[in-house]
Structure 1
């Protein structure tokens, strides 16, 4: 069996896997999905057993952090079966961290179960604390349900990090309110630049774009920002607010390319392995999974794909147009 670590062509160890377990979601966030999405037929999705085989193959080749995404991962039927299966890799020590990104809508139901299998922290996507705005940006979501989910996660002992997409003309005036709320609740907060994913019209996406360089400058007008070197295995760069010590992260795929230290790859809910979020090159792992009961061909396919991992992506909003735009929806690839 080949259990040598996965090393890409630029000598970066691949230790972080993000896996989408469903393209479905109970929200329809305007920057992520169309309102009337055509979801994939069930047969196209990896089964929970196939997801187990796939993730276990990655863990066997040195992946130490596994993040479960969607869509909304907690709307997948029997999803705790999969989380429990991955929990065995935590117990063996092969996996250091099992975590998920969620919209928070189902956390009140699942927080205790997630904690029981070894999940220690979750990322919750939350772009506004205004109930009407929340309903507008998610189309179908209810803010009170998400806030209750966050409280349930905290009660279960899960560390919650809030992910907020910076949206021009939408949540600019909530910058300080979100920072203050996260500080009071004990949640870390990361701001994310909107990315060119999906079939949205260019003008609409350009209109949503709020560069984090501007957001950070506004924050610096009120708080002392102290850069910290911390890395969590993801692309965020962090500061602490002088005085409170509150941690704020910035994910800037457009104004600051973070590719040089990239240690992660993504698998979609249909088993496509994307070596880079911002490139179209992928490997079909579903066909390999379904073509052999042995995991040896799967490990070989993963290794071959990692050998093609590019140095970086091409997202660019300059010159009033979007280059490097991806045609696939973020809900398919996994947030």
Structure 2
């Protein structure tokens, strides 16, 4: 795995003072699929099941580090599009996993949350991390997922599974070796494929995350054939706008909505999950061969139902919404409601090693910030 290029690190995304341009907003709001009704009308031959939920707080999204070996960016633009889970790269110490376990256990006891996603940046793979997973399972966490680029995972995956890891999600931003390196900044494509096959071989469920970029999506048909053979889950994401990247985003943005013809004739049914808070809509396209594609119905005008979002200047380009991926806990043990607004993060612990009052956390999670 040889390095391809190094892009400058992104600063903290901001405090909401930089609003998206009209061109960005118009681009997002012109996408054809804005409602579940639009989905039914666009695909009349495919059954659509809709499931509604009050909130999206079904899991904890736990981050153990702010560092990452990858530099996922716009090829040739010299700019990273990675939002780094709302943290400033390399600026936060790796989390104290014993304290992180206590925080997770608190959410388990007080809120009944039994699912954890070890998410975002490439995790530290060491004995302590294995013990952390085993400890959470011992504390009653029923499902633990790991999001990774797969670096060094070949040596650790069996041990992680034995400790209680439930499944793995590999971030693979292109299905061609050179394109992968150009987008992700590291020539590790072959390694990622080996990790996926190893996971399948040891019976560990595996999914693939992929952000779509214009000009780098022509491999999708072959990619679909590949996931069909392995019956994989794939999550296709639109690249997220971030402040200071107007031109790069406009040149490179392409939505999954513009390429649905590539898999619509393979789809036997669609399931749609609508969450009251943050107003987010997730879709799963169940393919005939057993694979599936997950997408988000990104419509900023309707997915900002939390009070904190109402007057936010970036809301018209925010594709996540408040707590849109569940309760994100950053490496410094803060709850982070929005990757575009790290200034809104709230510490979960107190200086005297206590825990934030439940009433204060309730208000924060509902987006009622004072």
Instruction: Give me the TM-score of the superposition, normalised by structure 2.
Output: 0.67
What count of residue pairs does the alignment treat as equivalent?
283
Correspondences of 1:264-303 after superposition (within 5 Å):
264-277=326-339, 279-280=341-342, 281-286=344-349, 288=350, 290-292=351-353, 297-298=354-355, 300=357, 303=359
Offset at residue 256 of structure 1 (A): 8.7
Distance 1:235 1:21, change over 3 A: farther
Aligned equivalent of 1:246, options 281, 286, 291:
291
Correspondences of 1:86-105 after superposition (within 5 Å):
86-89=136-139, 94-105=140-151
Equivalent position of 1:186 in the other structure: 231
Equivalent position of 1:5 in the other structure: none
Matched, 1:17 2:73: no
Distance 1:125 1:258, change over 3 A: farther
Deviations 1:19-77 (A, max 9, x none): 1111111211112179xx851253xx431111111111111121121100131014577
Q: Contact between 1:188 and 1:248, CA under 8 Å: does it hold in 2? A: yes
> 1 CA distance for matches of 2:304 and 2:150?
29
Matched, 1:203 2:247: yes
Q: Contact between 2:70 and 2:184, CA under 8 Å: does it hold in 1? A: yes
Deviations 1:284-309 (A, max 9, x none): 125x2x522xxxx4152x54133133
Offset at residue 235 of structure 1 (A): 6.0
Please provide the CA RMSD for this pair: 3.1
> 1 CA distance for matches of 2:215 and 2:131?
41
Offset at residue 118 of structure 1 (A): 1.9
Correspondences of 1:13-162 after superposition (within 5 Å):
14-30=57-73, 31-32=81-82, 39-40=90-91, 42=93, 45-61=94-110, 62-75=112-125, 78-89=128-139, 94-162=140-208
SS at match of 2:218: helix
Offset at residue 271 of structure 1 (A): 1.7
Offset at residue 224 of structure 1 (A): 4.1
SS at match of 2:214: coil
Distance 1:63 1:141, change over 3 A: farther
> 2 CA distance for matches of 1:112 and 1:285?
32
Deviations 1:228-250 (A, max 9, x none): 25799x96311122x42431111
SS at match of 2:203: coil
Offset at residue 149 of structure 1 (A): 1.4
SS at match of 1:73: coil
Q: Contact between 1:120 and 1:158, CA under 8 Å: does it hold in 2? A: yes
> 2 CA distance for matches of 1:144 and 1:161?
16
Offset at residue 114 of structure 1 (A): 1.6
Distance 1:13 1:182, change over 3 A: closer
